[in-house]
Structure 1
């Protein structure tokens, strides 16, 4: 080796199935901030599509809301006389709802805002207890809830009560979803039995519709082609030899492992991972498996982790039956995000040609 040169340290391949992360209540509270993918998001970096004026309207509405929330208010007067503004951003996947929500949280500031996904808030209630959770969140001016959804009756009652108490405490609530609030739970459980709770939730929000196309890809389902398992292994080893922390897992083993970990810990599961390779990928036709994968893909996307799939490509990962039922919007969003991750460069290895998948993750 020539003087002055340094050899990159080889990092052994890891497996997500070897990880069982635990999160304390303190860590859950500290983690209520926008994810790394949106750490630099701001209203100025959101670029509305001129063909869809609703995007610019939503941008200005949330910008104004952020200004109101950081403006000092006399305690006792504002909260008692004026209901806190609550906004529900409704729109398809890939129109920039998460970017706008993260921008609002940044504008309000980490000390006065809480930002988390729906599943993170439900887990926070379980970890802290309901009263303690309300007490902690009531100290914030803003509670931002990304990907708001009701997948079971218990969540409906829990979130209805939580949001009611936070609003009564003067907290502004802002949520994003692919589903109008009055249609939450539709096609998933007997929503009509919980219609009063759902209507109570809906009445608390000003619904703001954001129209537009998925910025990640414009031709429907991502067409990322499958790679041979041997190639996925070789790419993972090459990236690992270059000093990256790469996870390589068998798909069936990972699916089984996810069932043993609460979805709120999936972020911790992939923290520190620079890339993920999956071998033996097979099409899924089970909603329990599918919903866990949706959360995992969201956490990988939050962190901009490149993914390579062996044996089955993105387009064929989810069955047609699942794409036609109640959770279809979640699955299409997950496929869109996974297609973008499949198009990212691996450390030390070029991205494969994957339809129109981008090589970077835009934040719009």
Structure 2
């Protein structure tokens, strides 16, 4: 029987949301020893040294704040409580961040910026602060500063966690045409970003993308009938019409998109159409991330995947998210 994602209504407990905040399977085995810095890019070696040193500190059990530090409202710590790795695609930032998480003592958390905002949205800010305050370190991959609301929310969260003694580590993916741009200098919400920046030691990692340059070419889409027939033949493969799927995503909180894929080994989507609604597009970005984390092959019909987002979207404020989603969806389509 073919699985229909559009007919699933997963329920996700707060404990499950927190327990799933670990590096994705593709980074489960990375360590500092497996990172290979480019000899021509000294910033990569510097970042490796910096995070290795920080990991040695985080490997020790967390020291509880003294009475004096509680009275002052903060926990004393050497230097800034966070490290922020800024750079282009494919220079190994996620490898380093996951390696730091693996070395650190628990409790600890690893998530993307989108996952963190979804977690806070699902739990509420107050509950999220209470749940995360005992943590040794919070690692945030793909930090994004393209939404003022999310930025202000996470600024409040991280400010309270730092006050509780939680250490931070984060990465960002600067677009190729924006290399060198200060990631904490967005004009529209400068005050909030400066408050965030005060918590981080920002380090730049330079170097060419070791994977590829530019967006890969999308494979030719399959006919609808082939997607449906293949989904029916393969075990644990879902198949949904594109419109049914994105309408269903609108009815679920994004924190449930991972649970939506429980037990699924491949995803089929028929009649994919160019998007004009940014809300629909952003939901599909989150679904693409959850599919990519699980390495699920994509069976797709309709327009080629590189036509999913309009030219205007790829030039707009969320372009980084769309480019990442395209790269991941195309890679998953090639697996099928």
Q: What TM bracket, shorter-length normalisation?
A: 0.7 to 0.9
CA distance in 2 between counterparts of 1:24 and 1:176 reads: 28
Change (3 A) 1:181 1:167: farther
Change (3 A) 1:296 1:95: farther
CA distance in 1 between counterparts of 2:148 and 2:214 reads: 35
Contact 1:145 1:175 in 2 (8 A): yes
Change (3 A) 1:337 1:48: farther
Change (3 A) 1:46 1:294: farther
Residue number among 9, 30, 51 corresponding to 1:41 in the alignment: 30
SS of the aligned residue for 1:310 comes to strand
* 1:195-223 CA-partner distances (Å, limit 9, x unpaired): 21111112221122233444443353433
1:107 aligned onto 2:109: no
Contact 1:285 1:321 in 2 (8 A): no
Alignment TM-score, normalising by the size of structure 1: 0.80
Give the structure 2 partner of residue 249 of structure 1: 240
Deviates more, 1:85-94 or 1:297-306: 85-94
Give the structure 1 partner of residue 55 of structure 2: 66
Contact 2:236 2:264 in 1 (8 A): yes
Contact 1:83 1:170 in 2 (8 A): no
CA RMSD of aligned residues (A): 2.4
CA distance in 2 between counterparts of 1:273 and 1:214 reads: 31
SS of the aligned residue for 1:220 comes to coil
CA distance in 2 between counterparts of 1:52 and 1:100 reads: 15
Task: Give the alignment of 1:70-149 within 5 angstroms.
Answer: 70-72=59-61, 75-76=64-65, 79-83=75-79, 85-109=81-105, 111-149=106-144
1:235: how far off? Answer: 2.9
CA distance in 2 between counterparts of 1:37 and 1:271 reads: 18
CA distance in 2 between counterparts of 1:343 and 1:55 reads: 31
1:285: how far off? Answer: 2.7
SS of the aligned residue for 1:156 comes to helix
1:319: how far off? Answer: 1.2
SS of the aligned residue for 1:296 comes to helix
When the two structures are aligned, how many residues end up with a matched partner?
322
CA distance in 2 between counterparts of 1:85 and 1:115 reads: 16
* 1:94-148 CA-partner distances (Å, limit 9, x unpaired): 4333332222212214x32111222332333344443332232121110111222
Residue number among 9, 20, 36 corresponding to 2:9 in the alignment: 20
1:323: how far off? Answer: 0.8
SS of the aligned residue for 1:319 comes to coil
Alignment TM-score, normalising by the size of structure 2: 0.86
CA distance in 2 between counterparts of 1:83 and 1:139 reads: 20
1:274: how far off? Answer: 0.7
Task: Give the alignment of 1:130-209 within 5 angstroms.
Answer: 130-179=125-174, 180-183=182-185, 186=186, 192=188, 194-209=189-204
Contact 2:122 2:255 in 1 (8 A): no
* 1:9-51 CA-partner distances (Å, limit 9, x unpaired): xxx2211111121211122222222223322232233344455
